[in-house]
């Protein structure tokens, strides 16, 4: 084994199928040794991982980084720092920036700003120009830059014929369209889930059908075109069941769910606190149970944060006037752990947050282009790029909004104690987080 410059000692390495108590030796950005006991060479850095799980760095399919245009809420640098603190080594930046990421110029700017951050930043391109839903964005031009995921997230593509045409192009280009499933007419005016709580609180609701109608339409378009479709932030039992049936039929559909839809319900809105306004909205107990069941049985492929920072003053308004969205990057793994580890083996929890999202975003192989990524999603094996997340399941994370790395404070978990804590994050062999402290 070549002399390591970094040794991670005492942890349990998460394999794709099973895990083992192993130390990890790293050199030149790669894993060069895996053994029960590795003596660190003189001068090597040592990270203590006693009692921790050493898994592949997490990959987030869904992060709103707000740059360009809303830097008061987040920047690519602060979002990437929050990501690293959350155990992520790669995040996909959503295109609902100002201007939108609908051209090679804006995509190139975001990729350039992401280079050198504490997590790798990939971009999702917009499906339509300005995310306005009327004309296709230059998908080919963006694909040539390495963009593999396209979405108008924040809004769904309402025009079915345009979506069909986008899917035909995407198939030819070998890229994936990701849909924010929301029928704008059905959802119009709603600020929370339409149900018992919206009636009680007097807040206009959005029915589950607004999401399910578009999931159903896009499943039929996936069947028609043969192009893959990824469903963003599924939140209803009906959506999960539609995707389950589409997968059983063999269609090329994938789906993600956000941590808040695995844990919180519309009852959280009872105090009218705008921090709980999010889109899709927090739903019922039955919906939460269906989302968790979908993650457990493989219907939902990935946990994705939908990290949506909003500057404090923009959330200090009445509930129905506040922008939807909540922070997610620094709390996702503890929440996924709390919700999923009673049902799933640790390897499966990590797969939902690393290998599977990396495969959906096609980040598993190193892209040598400027702004390109290193191989993401593991497995942690000899010769692999050392993108690692070291997680202590026995520790706890106490959420203090003022201590988060994000520029915004809109976490729905303020004051909560969550199960487990991210201890170290290693990006291409560099410890970017040590003992829960960002190194730069």
- Annotated catalytic residues are 306
Does residue 160 touch ligand DOR according to CB under 6 A? no
Does residue 114 touch ligand DOR according to CB under 6 A? no
Percentages (nearest 5) of helix, strand, coil residues in the chain: 30, 25, 45
Q: CA-CA distance, 319 to 316, in Å (whole number)? A: 9
CB of 289 to ligand DOR, least distance (A): 21
Does residue 411 touch ligand DOR according to CB under 6 A? no
> Token match 């739903």: residue?
283
Please tell me what DSSP assigns to residue 188: T
Q: CA-CA distance, 412 to 417, in Å (whole number)? A: 12
Instruction: Output 11 or 156, the one with its CB closest to ligand DOR.
Output: 156
Does residue 133 touch ligand DOR according to CB under 6 A? no
β-partners of residue 411 are: none
CB of 167 to ligand DOR, least distance (A): 20
Binding mask 87-106 for ligand DOR (x = CB under 6 A): ---------x----------
Tokens of 398: 């106490």
- Main-chain phi, psi angles of 349, to 5 degrees: -60, -45
Residue from 9, 27, 64, 428 that binds ligand DOR (CB under 6 A)?
64
Q: What does the DSSP assignment read for 246-292?
A: HHHTT--EEEEE-HHHHH--GGGGGG--GGG--SSPP--HHHHHHHH
Counting beta carbons within 10 angstroms of the beta carbon of residue 341, is it exposed (0 to 12), middle (13 to 18) or buried (19 or more)?
Answer: middle
Binding mask 323-362 for ligand DOR (x = CB under 6 A): xxx-------------------------------------
Stretch of 74-82, 189-197, 259-267, 320-328 contacting ligand DOR, by CB under 6 A? 320-328
Using alpha carbons, select from 246, 237, 244, 184 the residue that is nearest to residue 214.
184
CB of 45 to ligand DOR, least distance (A): 38
Binding mask 170-209 for ligand DOR (x = CB under 6 A): ----------x-----------------------------
Q: CA-CA distance, 142 to 260, in Å (whole number)? A: 31
Residues 263 to 292 in contact with ligand DOR, rule: CB under 6 A: 278-279
CB of 308 to ligand DOR, least distance (A): 4
**CA 331: distance to chain centroid?**
11
Helix, strand, or coil (residue 193) = strand
Stretch of 142-150, 191-199, 322-330, 403-411 contacting ligand DOR, by CB under 6 A? 322-330
β-partners of residue 150 are: 125, 177
Instruction: Output 233 or 428, the one with its CB closest to ligand DOR.
Output: 233
Closest residue to ligand DOR, based on beta-carbon distance = 325
Nearest 10 degrees: Cα torsion 106, 107, 108, 111: 120
Residue from 40, 114, 154, 195 that binds ligand DOR (CB under 6 A)?
154
CB of 249 to ligand DOR, least distance (A): 27
Does residue 153 touch ligand DOR according to CB under 6 A? yes
The reply to whether omega before 75 is within 30° of 0 (cis) is no
Please tell me what DSSP assigns to residue 146: T
Residues 11 to 50 in contact with ligand DOR, rule: CB under 6 A: none
**Interface ranges with ligand DOR (CB under 6 A):** 64, 96, 153-154, 180, 278-279, 308, 323-325
């Amino acid at each position: 084994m070549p002399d390591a410059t970094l040794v991670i000692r005492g942890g349990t390495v998460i394999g794709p199928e099973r895990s083992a108590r192993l130390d990890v030796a790293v050199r030149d950005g790669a894993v060069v040794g895996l053994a029960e006991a590795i003596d660190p060479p003189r001068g090597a850095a040592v990270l203590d991982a006693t009692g921790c799980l050493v898994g592949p760095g997490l990959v987030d399919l869904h992060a709103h980084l707000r740059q360009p245009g809303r830097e008061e809420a987040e920047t690519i640098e602060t979002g990437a720092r929050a990501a690293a603190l959350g155990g992520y080594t790669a995040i996909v930046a959503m295109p609902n920036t100002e201007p939108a990421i609908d051209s090679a110029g804006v995509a190139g700017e975001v990729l350039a700003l992401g280079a050198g951050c504490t997590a790798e930043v990939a971009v999702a391109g917009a499906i339509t120009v300005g995310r306005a839903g009327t004309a296709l964005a230059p998908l080919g031009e963006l694909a040539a830059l390495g963009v593999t995921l396209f979405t108008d997230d924040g809004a769904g593509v309402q025009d079915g014929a345009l979506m069909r045409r986008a899917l035909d192009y995407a198939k030819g280009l070998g890229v994936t369209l990701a849909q924010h499933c929301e029928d704008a007419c059905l959802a119009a005016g709603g600020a929370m889930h339409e149900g018992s709580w919206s009636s009680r609180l007097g807040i206009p609701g959005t029915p589950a059908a607004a999401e399910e109608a578009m999931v159903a339409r896009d499943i039929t378009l996936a069947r028609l075109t043969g192009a893959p479709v990824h469903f963003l932030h599924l939140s209803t039992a009906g959506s999960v069941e539609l995707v389950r049936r589409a997968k059983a039929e063999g269609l090329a559909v994938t789906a993600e769910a956000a941590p808040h839809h695995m844990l919180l319900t519309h009852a959280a809105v009872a105090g009218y606190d705008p921090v709980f306004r999010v889109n899709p909205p927090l739903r019922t107990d039955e919906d939460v149970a269906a989302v968790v069941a979908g993650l457990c049985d493989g219907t939902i492929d990935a946990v994705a944060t939908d990290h949506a920072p909003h500057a404090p003053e923009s959330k200090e308004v009445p509930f129905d006037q506040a922008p939807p969205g909540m922070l997610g990057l620094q709390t996702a793994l503890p929440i996924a752990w709390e919700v999923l580890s009673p049902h799933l083996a640790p390897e499966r929890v990590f797969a939902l947050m690393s290998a599977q999202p990396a495969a959906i975003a096609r980040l598993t192989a190193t892209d040598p282009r400027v702004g390109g990524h290193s191989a993401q999603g593991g497995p942690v094996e000899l010769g692999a790029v050392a993108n690692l997340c070291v997680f202590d399941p026995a520790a706890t994370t106490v959420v203090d909004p003022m201590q988060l790395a994000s520029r915004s404070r809109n976490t729905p978990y303020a004051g909560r104690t969550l199960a487990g804590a991210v201890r170290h994050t290693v990006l291409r062999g560099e410890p970017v987080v040590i003992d829960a402290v960002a190194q730069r």
